[in-house]
Structure 1
Amino acid sequence: MYHLYFLTKIHHKEHALIENETILLVYGSEVKLTCNLTTPVKFFVNGAEAKGENYEIADLTMKIKNLKKADVLNSYFCNNSQGDQINFQTEITPHLYKVDFLNFFGVSGKKVYLSCYVLVGYQNNLDIEWMWKNPKGEILNLTHRFEITSKNESSTLTIHDSMIEDSGIYECIAVNTYGSHSRTLKLVVKSNLTPLWPFLGTIGQFVVLAFILLYYEFGAKREVKFFKNKKTTPLVERNTI
């Protein structure tokens, strides 16, 4: 009796393909990830399969529109059923916080502080360099009146003994290896007498009122004196024939 055996040869992949690909992420913009592996492929965000309206997946690509802070800081990779994988290494350009009220007010002779803050771009040990420009568009140099204090996530311009002439549009610029971003801030320096204007206005009203009262009182006294000193001529009746 003979037994027939059928041997099926299965080819196993000895080594899975693992590659790294660099992508540039810019806050508020769009990014497209391409997974150049044999299909079908899957995309993963922070270790979980990418799902939801925020991700547009088609064949070998995944598109993310209007990148938010979380999108920029997430980790991404894709793989296929054969164990091949592509890790996306992210490069992040800096992006500064947008402040609703970018008008800063100061009083002449006092210190004025202007500050900018980084939303993304300093994470992952990225170093941020800061620059400030004055209202003339010139790079600010440190002097006895202008002082710049910076950290990776923020920068503050301090103006000592501020003057009205310091008023204008200032620009802060954050720079890292992958790009830069800037914000403009409007500074208005007012006279140190400005807080006194309401008080001085009230005093002025009292002075004007007192002057008017004195004027009318003096005028009334002169009129009374005039009538007292005036000689009146008696009326003489004349008979007419």
Structure 2
Amino acid sequence: MTADFTTLVTRLDTVRQTLSATLRTKGVDAAADDSLAVLVGKASLVDSTSGMNQIRNGYQLFRNNTTMVAFPEFDTASFDSMYQMCYGCSALERVPTLSTSLVGNMMYIFYGCANLVEIGGLDTSLITSASEMFHGCKNLQRIGGVLDFSNVQSQIDSTFVSCAALEEVTFTGSIHVDVAVNGCPKLTVASLLSLLNALVPGVTDKECRIGSKNLAKLSTEQQAIATDKGWVLI
């Protein structure tokens, strides 16, 4: 027996047409023949006063949106998760300072945002994992504010993979797990020192991998900030 999906397809097409018409009334360039997937992506372009402020969670909110250039202006203060929020947003260029004091999950938040240049700032004090947060952000130059990884329990080894353009990032709090920024050879000395100062003292088996290019920027005394605490600095 062959399943008949005619009714379902008809209903989905009605949803598509309704969404297309609604977006056009909100000022979004939505074509009548756009697919449902494309229209869902364009929904993020609706002005924040039209309902974006009603969103209460960032879980996969803009995942794989390839048309969003600027992060919409709306209040994120009530969010408790931003898991994969901007995963694969390949057109995204700038993100303002976001209210994230309640967010406990930022895994993959900006994974694959290859055109992202700057992030205004994030409160990371509650997150327990920093996995893949900025992985693949190859044009990211600056992360404003401070990154507090005090509650991170897993290694900070995939957080900054392929962030080859990153120059400015400031760490605070206390880092007590292996950390790697060796994929960020352009980090300023100030950024590197903030990382070393955030490393907890008294460890015996932890590594801070900053890479040879970054290591060469630091004096013996500056390197000792990490090694005197027991960290292996490589």
TM-score tier by shorter-chain length is: under 0.3
Which one has the largest radius of gyration?
1
TM-score relative to the length of structure 1: 0.22
Structure with more strand by fraction:
1
Structure with more helix by fraction:
2
Whose relative contact order is higher, 1 or 2, with alpha carbons under 8 Å and at least 6 apart?
1
TM-score relative to the length of structure 2: 0.23
